[in-house]
Chains A and B, each alone.
Chain A
């Protein structure tokens, strides 16, 4: 019998695999922009993992953590892009 939690655990496995593949690009990317893109992908995947953990452990406060983390990651990407374009 398949229930909903089992499908969610399988999805967590696939998210972990996606994080590993993005980590490979993060380590070996030839230019700075490759690394920033891999970092962005890692951040979005971990946002989803935080919200799934919030749903499974029934704590709503973790969703606030996810919102603040997304805000900080957006600001980080914009700052790095501005820096490599013309300096701070």
Chain B
């Protein structure tokens, strides 16, 4: 379990979720506690006594993310309710606890995967692996940013019932936006169209790492696929895009094997998109500003389409349910080869190499960031 502790500590830094190792404490429990700390504080040991868990992560997010969370806790001192897809599906809501008191923390963590401790940081848990705690930590940070910006721009423009934000809130958002603004994605080391299975895995691996490095997805979300003839190579469900080797399923389009039962929950949407577009690459990420702008204007009805910077935005839940994005996304992809699922993330497809799809997702995110800035700059707020 020590290896898990070290792995997820490194990922917290690499994903720019915490500023330095000292800001994060990770604990894994089998019959003894493993940690990155020399000794286990009494509060952490007490939490393990109070909760039937095997993993605990307590960390202060890096300063910009923490400033976002702090603002949200000022607005909602007890419970934060984000409306993006990661939250609706997995996190539900985020309790806020006044102090790092094990009894208070346990009460919050009894019912949710993670909580915010005011003036301190985020605490998350897992029952199977530290990866769960890492995912919840990442999702809370992601959801907080999305919520702060969507609440602000929607209120600013009169969407929803919230009062318009004051000028200071808008200035804060602009400052945060400057810190989080995406950079253009780096070129992939593997150029061209892969042919052999080895090349396909290497190309998917490189593209996946580039998506993560560019901050276009968080934790284990997003997926990526490549079609060669009648076979789709697709990332497995719950695989991290920066750790793809060994986590790619080979799924024949003729349905002759069910081995792809472990593949991404969006397998059916990828298959349908390939069918309608004739493309051979799909990349799906959760870029912050694309998600934020997809929620600008309020909730989107199922079946309704709106556009952000010329990119279609459609509604749809994760997966293949009756209101799943399977029924909306592929049609939008057919015409545009890219689309944002409202509150969820961006899909881009192309007929060629991964570079093109990656560049498309990246440019959509940059455009959405600009669009968000424009809303913040050009809409008159309440006087502070």
A binds B: no
Give the B-binding residues of A (Cβ under 8 A). Answer: none
Give the A-binding residues of B (Cβ under 8 A). Answer: none
